[in-house]
Amino acid sequence: MSIVVFDPDSIEDVDFKDRMRHPAAADPAGGMWLSDTEPSFIDADALRKGRLAKLRGWMREAGYGGVVLFDPYNQRYATGSRNMFGYFLRNSTRYFFIPTDGPIVLFEYPQSYHVSMVLDTIDEARPSKLVWSSVSGRDDETAGPFADEITELLKKHGGGSMKLGLDRCSHLQALALEKRGCEVKDCQGEILAVRAVKTPEEVKCLQVSMAGAEAAVAAVREAIKPGVSENELFAIMYGEVIRQGGEFIETRLLTSGQRTNPWFNEASGRKIRPGELVALDTDTIGCYGYYSDFSRTFRCGPGRPTPYQKSLYRMAHDQVQHNIGIVKPGMAFREIAEKAWNIPDRFVDQRYTSVMHGVGMHGETPLHRARDGL
């Protein structure tokens, strides 16, 4: 055993320039990371229950007996469960059966049931019928057992309705369910509409996610200097996202110099030169699995910006402030498009595809397009 002796009156070892973890966002408890003496900024129990109640309210109103969720984002929205997120984005082999009323059943990757069974939103875990089937070329063999199990649950817990929503799956699974009497519906768009209106706890999650992304962008800004590469800066941003409690970045949009225009080039090994602009887009699945999406452009020193760089900054600032100022409750999407900042003709061909869009667990509805409908 070792005893650490320190002087509480000394602050010589404190770096006050170090970035805070989760800066307070409109709540005194927002600055707390983990504590048993202060209230948590996010009530995770209320977050899960609020989202599930919204989902089931829609299901009841739409006449669904149940839904089967393959999309990891929808799974997390409904239950708070996350397991090998990136893997299941491309492998639709983990799924949930959620009835309008009744037990929620997780069909999980074998031997990982414990990851999610700590959640009170999940009543039972069973092995997935679809694991490895597509890899081994056995999709046609597993579709039947999959459909048998889901149909049995729907008959037992669907309240007499055989209407079943699927957010995504193979056509073989959908056909097998229909063969067994299920009325299969594609419900992805409907679920996104449910998710569009946020609960109070979701708004807090977005605030915390934004704070983490801001810290990551600040770290990039501090690291910009002649000779640093785009990849090095992107690595700094990604590392800070993880350090702040975030999860991953969807894109690699960090470029410099002539690679900033047209947009959508990805980060490369290019070295940044004095006087160049460095542009980035966060596209971050951040804290609590909520999205933070904003762009920033910085100038690499030394020296001062050119008159043209200053004019670009002025236009970008004016556009953002103008578009924030026009948004009011009850506005039609078309009205927002028509009142949006007017992009100068010389920039129209390479403008971004939308004026603004919603966020939640990722980029979400609504999507406000430009006035010409691009």
> For residues 106 and 94, what is the distance between their CA atoms, to the nearest angstrom?
8
Q: Position 67: which residue type?
A: V
C-beta of residue 54 within 8 angstroms of C-beta of residue 100: no
Q: Exposed (0-12), middle (13-18) or buried (19+): which is 315, by Cβ within 10 Å? A: middle
Nearest to 218 by CA among 193, 196, 240: 240
**pLDDT, mean over the chain:** 87
Chain centroid to CA 88: how far?
15
pLDDT exceeds cutoff 70 at 371: no
State yes or no: pLDDT of 26 exceeds 50: no
Asked whether 267 and 231 are in contact (CB, 8 A), the reply is yes
22 against 359, higher pLDDT: 359
Strand pairing report for 291-292 and 284-285: antiparallel
**Residue 11 clears pLDDT 70, i.e. is over it:** no
Statement: residue 369 has pLDDT above 80: no
Local confidence band at 1 (pLDDT 50, 70, 90 cut-offs): very low
Cβ–Cβ < 8 Å for 267, 233 = yes
**pTM, whole model, 2 decimals?**
0.85
Measured from the Cβ of residue 163, the count of other Cβ atoms closer than 10 Å reads: 19
Residue 30: pLDDT over 80: no
Q: What are the residue ranges of helices labelled H in the chain?
A: 44-62, 72-79, 85-90, 139-157, 171-179, 188-196, 200-223, 230-243, 307-326, 333-339
pLDDT band at residue 16 under the 50/70/90 scheme: very low
Q: Closest by alpha carbon to 98, among 83, 80, 118, 114?
A: 80
Per-residue DSSP letters for 78-146? Answer: HH---SSHHHHHH----EEEEESSS--EEEE-TT-GGGTTTSTT--EEEE-S-TTTTTTT-HHHHHHHH
Nearest CA-CA partner of 197 in 327, 353, 77:
77
Provide the pLDDT confidence category of residue 87 given band limits of 50, 70 and 90: confident
The single residue listed with the structure tokens 């999407």 is 333
